[in-house]
A and B are shown apart, each in its own frame.
Chain A
Amino acid sequence: MESTVGGGVVGHGEPDDADVGRLFAAGDERALALAYERWAGLVHGIATRALGNTADAEDVTQQVFVSAWTGRQGYRPDDGPLPAWLVGITRHRIADAFARRQRDERARLAVLGGAAAAPREAFDPHAEDRVVLLEELSRIGEPQRGIMELAFFHDLTHEQISRRTGLPLGTVKSHIRRTLVRLRTRLEVDGAAL
């Protein structure tokens, strides 16, 4: 039952994790609830450890499952377990949440006047750069953005990315290099402007 979704999979008792992954990828709606039962705790645990027990963490958990579901075409059961993929998405959402906090903080300081150089760095040395970089990343078109998400947050190698996206190895490699250079340039420009 390689990638087939039959009554046989879920008909007899509880599907195993791999079944849930296949059902999820196949768009079987029951798999969303099943995945949530099994891995919402994992995702939310990571989110609360990163963001505190906050509404931000709840948002992250919610977004992870929503974007996993709407983007399920991007999940290939053969390439790895579903929870690993969910963790990749979680890392991206947490990075976004950090960036959002940083922006809010920056804006708050701007309103309070002046003290924009408050020592936030102690908390997160990359906070300012992350704001700039994630914004730039979100502007990059496909397939580059998807490739970089897989490389940054899912820790896939270029070979795995090539397999997953169906793009030739050379194409993946050069997209990665060009995008990283673009991001670095963006950082330099932004740094100079500040």
Chain B
Amino acid sequence: MQHSDPDVLALVALGEQAPVADAEHLLECEQCRADVDELRQVVSAVRVDVTAGAPVAPPPRVWQGIAAQTGARSVPRPERMAGAQPSTSPAPDTATAPNTATAPNTASQMATGPEIAADPGPADPGAAGPVPGRSTGDELTRRRGRRARGGPARGRRDIRVIVAVAAAALVVGAAGGAVGSRLADRTPPPATQGPAGPAGQILAQVQLANLKPATTAASGSAQVVRTPAGPRLEIDVARLAPVRGHFYEVWLIDSRVKRMVSLGILDGTTGQFVIPNGVDVSAYPIVDISVQQPGDPKHSGDSVLRGTIRT
């Protein structure tokens, strides 16, 4: 009996239909079935089941984050947002679409918009690649993964950096209440500040992820800027509430989360920090903002915001 081509078994594990001969073979061959099952375990662990359903309009800050990261200048019209006005069908449905005349702002831009038409977008240069999924999120995920695997045995600080969420929750929890009143969202940086902005001075830019969404609504961004005096890291945060007896410190961390450099204390919502000689953001790509207690020069392990710079 000739077994199925392993390539075919892999496709079957992914859910593809087997050619008839293979389907018949699989019925009678335990070994090939076992091979498929093994691979299927991999497939079902990676895939997640999602449910489509009623649209839910995201809060405005989500678009602001997107605009900040992509340099997009067009703006979605709230009255057009699905969720408020469902339009989830993949099928075109122009017949029922309200006329453009009801949508003043962007529509007129669109009609006239030669100045932005066919613009490949400021965030483009680093974005090559045949498939999606090269966001900073991927990077961070990967790094978190490495770090987690390092585990307590390999480097105590590794684990402290990611973890300590429990302790941190207590510290920042108090602040969370104060933040709850929700300050107005900050205006995202102008689109022209994108990585390929006209000034050419911004070398890289990253949104900082909130590591403690349960306790704080903090958000922020970081960018590497070239200045005549050398590279600087600019930090811009919002809703990062002061914590009594503590301060916020800005770090650059290497991708293995083994080494880190303190850039200084973040006072207020913005700051510009010297990137020291010998520290290259490609080697220290993780921007981290931690809650620190006076007297302890080490990273507290209590990080609030973090992002990974792509270079």
A residues in contact (CB < 8 Å) with B: 5, 7, 10-11, 13-14, 16-19, 26-30, 32-34, 36-46, 48-50, 54-56, 58-59, 61-63, 65-75, 80-85, 87, 89-96, 98-100, 103-104, 106-108, 110-112, 126, 129-131, 133-135, 137-139, 142-143, 145-146, 149-153, 155, 157-158, 165, 170, 173-174, 176-177, 180-181, 183-184, 187
The listed residue (B84, B98, B117, B138) touching A138 by CB distance below 8 A is B138
B99 adjacent to A14 (CB under 8 Å)? yes
A27 to B160, CA, bound (A): 42
A33 to B184, CA, bound (A): 22
B62 adjacent to A44 (CB under 8 Å)? yes
A65 to B126, CA, bound (A): 16
A32 adjacent to B45 (CB under 8 Å)? no
B163 adjacent to A36 (CB under 8 Å)? no
Q: In the complex, what residue of chain B is closest to A53 when comparing beta carbons?
A: B56
Q: In the complex, what residue of chain B is closest to A69 when comparing beta carbons?
A: B70
A66 adjacent to B70 (CB under 8 Å)? yes
Q: Is B10 an interface residue (CB 8 A)?
A: yes
A93 to B132, CA, bound (A): 11
A103 adjacent to B162 (CB under 8 Å)? yes
B302 shortest CB reach to chain A, Å: 12
The listed residue (A17, A37, A70) touching B80 by CB distance below 8 A is A37
Q: A62-B58, A66-B135 are in contact. List 9 more A-B contacts (CB 8 A).
A: A13-B97, A30-B110, A45-B55, A63-B137, A65-B70, A69-B72, A70-B132, A96-B138, A126-B45
B145 adjacent to A29 (CB under 8 Å)? no
B128 adjacent to A40 (CB under 8 Å)? no
Q: In the complex, what residue of chain A is closest to B83 when comparing beta carbons?
A: A41
Which residue of B10, B127, B166 has the most chain A CB atoms within 10 A of its CB atom? B10
Assuming A32-B66, A143-B130, is B118 touching A26 (CB within 8 A)? yes
B196 shortest CB reach to chain A, Å: 12
Could you write out 15 A-B pairs with CB less than 8 Å apart? A14-B107, A29-B74, A36-B81, A38-B88, A41-B82, A41-B83, A67-B138, A71-B133, A82-B90, A89-B132, A103-B144, A107-B163, A133-B45, A149-B133, A187-B41
A62 adjacent to B75 (CB under 8 Å)? no
Q: Is B42 an interface residue (CB 8 A)?
A: yes
B164 adjacent to A111 (CB under 8 Å)? yes
Q: Which residues of B in the span 120-136 have a Cβ within 8 Å of any Cβ on A?
A: 120-121, 123-124, 126-135
A91 adjacent to B159 (CB under 8 Å)? no
A110 adjacent to B151 (CB under 8 Å)? yes
Which chain A residues border B38 with CB–CB below 8 Å? 184
The listed residue (B13, B51, B141, B210) touching A99 by CB distance below 8 A is B141
A55 adjacent to B45 (CB under 8 Å)? no
Q: Is B44 an interface residue (CB 8 A)?
A: yes
B46 adjacent to A67 (CB under 8 Å)? no
A176 to B74, CA, bound (A): 39
A149 to B21, CA, bound (A): 28
Contact bitstring B74-102, A, C-beta under 8 A = 1, else 0: 11110011111011111111100111100
A120 shortest CB reach to chain B, Å: 14
A48 adjacent to B56 (CB under 8 Å)? yes
A108 adjacent to B88 (CB under 8 Å)? no
Q: Is B170 an interface residue (CB 8 A)?
A: no
Q: Is B111 an interface residue (CB 8 A)?
A: yes
The listed residue (B69, B97, B110, B149) touching A10 by CB distance below 8 A is B110
A14 adjacent to B50 (CB under 8 Å)? no
Which residue of A55, A66, A110, A183 has the most chain B CB atoms within 10 A of its CB atom? A66
A29 to B196, CA, bound (A): 15
A70 adjacent to B75 (CB under 8 Å)? no
B128 adjacent to A73 (CB under 8 Å)? yes
B179 shortest CB reach to chain A, Å: 12
B132 adjacent to A149 (CB under 8 Å)? yes
